[in-house]
Chains A and B, each alone.
Chain A
């Protein structure tokens, strides 16, 4: 393993770790104001939606809109299954199966 590569992954590791670490150290000890607590409460739903939707409806480089993707089509029954069962493992398996079937057409 070259020293260059070791420095690269160390650098990558540090810049990834700090944003994970700083808020835990700073925020877990103090009483947060109500508005901040509410704001943080919306983060999970907001960040997941911001990760999912662009992946389902955009494609290419530079990105452009493409709503005719199997991934988007499959996401509808997958979403309904997740909503009804609230089972993470079940949703993963059903989603994979549906995507696999969708790929056969």
Chain B
């Protein structure tokens, strides 16, 4: 069981390592000690918001704006946890609270794919979450100690996370409707990201595309009843 979770987690760890190192280097340049970097990774555990926070810290921003920005950047997890809840029915509040800590873009997408398989359960998902968490905390701290010694762009490590996202997206596609929702979400996200500053475009495009998906499914269902074509 533990082995299953760790085996499934290693591509995520591979993706986190370069980003974590890069974060550690930046955080160190912003004046944070390795202990401070590790504490942020442990308490927040959300890559993009940590990058933004560090750039705000080095820009001399106050705590409240940093916390508010963190909130808006990480609000997308609200959607992910809602989606995960369907698969975590028999858990008590304690396990749910522990699970909530490990909800990230990557662990969410990977566990959602795995939950559709019979062999996957919440225990394995929890192991995956915490293995990924460990990789994140450790790599950010190492970055804080001396990640600058790793040459930038070596072995294409900057592309580990985008490649992982692409595969996770592919694994979520289970038919034409899902392709349609992906295309709508992607195009809306590009449009919103160009029109509005900040990160609200992620949540806005996701909510809009999923809603369109529900209507498409309804419409397709009706067409199927009357015309016999599904």
Contact = CB atoms under 8 A, between A and B. Distances in A.
Nearest to A43: B83
Contacts of B177: 42
Nearest to A35: B214
Chain B interface main SS type = helix
A37 to B, nearest CB: 7
Contact of B185 (A8, A49, A75): A49
Interface in B142-159: 153, 155-159
Interface residues of B, number: 94
Interface of B: 10-11, 14-15, 32-33, 35-36, 39-40, 43-46, 49, 53, 63, 66-68, 70-71, 74-86, 88-89, 91, 93, 96-97, 99-101, 103, 105, 108-110, 112, 153, 155-160, 162-173, 177-178, 181-190, 193-194, 197, 201-202, 205-206, 209-211, 213-214, 217
Contact of A27 (B15, B36, B82, B206): B82
Contact of B11 (A7, A21, A58, A89): A89
Contact of A51 (B53, B156, B202): B202
B172 A54 contact: no
Contacts of B32: 5
A82 B156 contact: no
B109 A44 contact: yes
